[in-house]
Amino acid sequence: EETLPLLPPVVRDVVELLLLTGARVGEMTGLRAIELDMSGDVWLYKPVRHKNAWRGAKYKRTILFGPKAQAIVRKYLKPRLEAFLFSPAEQEAMIADAKRAARKTKVQPSQMNRRKARPKKKPGERFDSDDINNAIKRACKRAGLPIWHTHQLRHTAAREITRRYGLDSARAVLGHKSLQMTADYAGI
């Protein structure tokens, strides 16, 4: 919680979604609107790529989005359904807009557009797990906090779901095949 205010806006929302859903970071950064079923009260996200996809059709993964998660996702829905919801380019634009809005002096004409014509590295169309974890690491260092990792969010979600709804519910949400794996995640 102390790290959240120091995270870039899109990364902060990804972290909050990871806590709410118990998803893996790769599943969340690969989220596209085309993979979301928004027809019910609880939205269903069926990622095409996930950890056990190589095992075949028998291992389908479904991630549930309740009202809090839906509110976060709504901010990122795009007209192009195939586009990744969480984009580094979009985050860069959000940060630049926030800085511009916070300016106390008028922007000089020569500084209206200071983007490089051919930057060495352009922001990609989607985040990967390293991008999210590096942003967390920077925020932790800035705050003087111990560095934590996105894998810990899945364990935290497992503990919270187990505490509130029981081990079997946590197993279903996390997509585990065995209760023992869920118990290990929940620290039982």
pLDDT at 28: 93
Measuring CA to CA, which residue among 132, 178, 185 is closest to residue 155? 185
pLDDT at 61: 79
State whether the Cα torsion 26-29-34-37 is positive or negative.
positive
pLDDT in tens, 139-171: 999 999 999 999 999 999 999 999 999 999 999
Tokens of 149: 């990792």
For residue 43, what is the enclosing H or E element?
A: strand 43-45
8 A C-beta contact, residue 61 and residue 88: no
CA distance 125 to 60: 25
Q: What is the length of the chain? A: 188
pLDDT at 64: 92
The gap from C-alpha 51 to its chain's centroid, in whole angstroms, comes to 16
- Angle at which helix 9-21 crosses helix 67-74, to 10 degrees, equals 160
Measuring CA to CA, which residue among 186, 122, 176, 115 is closest to residue 155? 186
pLDDT at 91: 76
Residue 37's beta-bridge partner residues?
A: 44
Phi, psi (degrees; rounded to nearest 5) at 187: 75, 30
- Which residues of the chain are modeled with pLDDT < 70? 49-59, 110-117, 119-123
Buried b (16+ CB within 10 A) or exposed e, 133-149: bebbebbbeeeeeeeee
Phi, psi (degrees; rounded to nearest 5) at 74: -55, -35
pLDDT at 58: 59
Write the CB contacts of 23 (distance below 8 Å, at least 6 apart in sequence).
17, 45, 63, 154
pLDDT at 89: 79
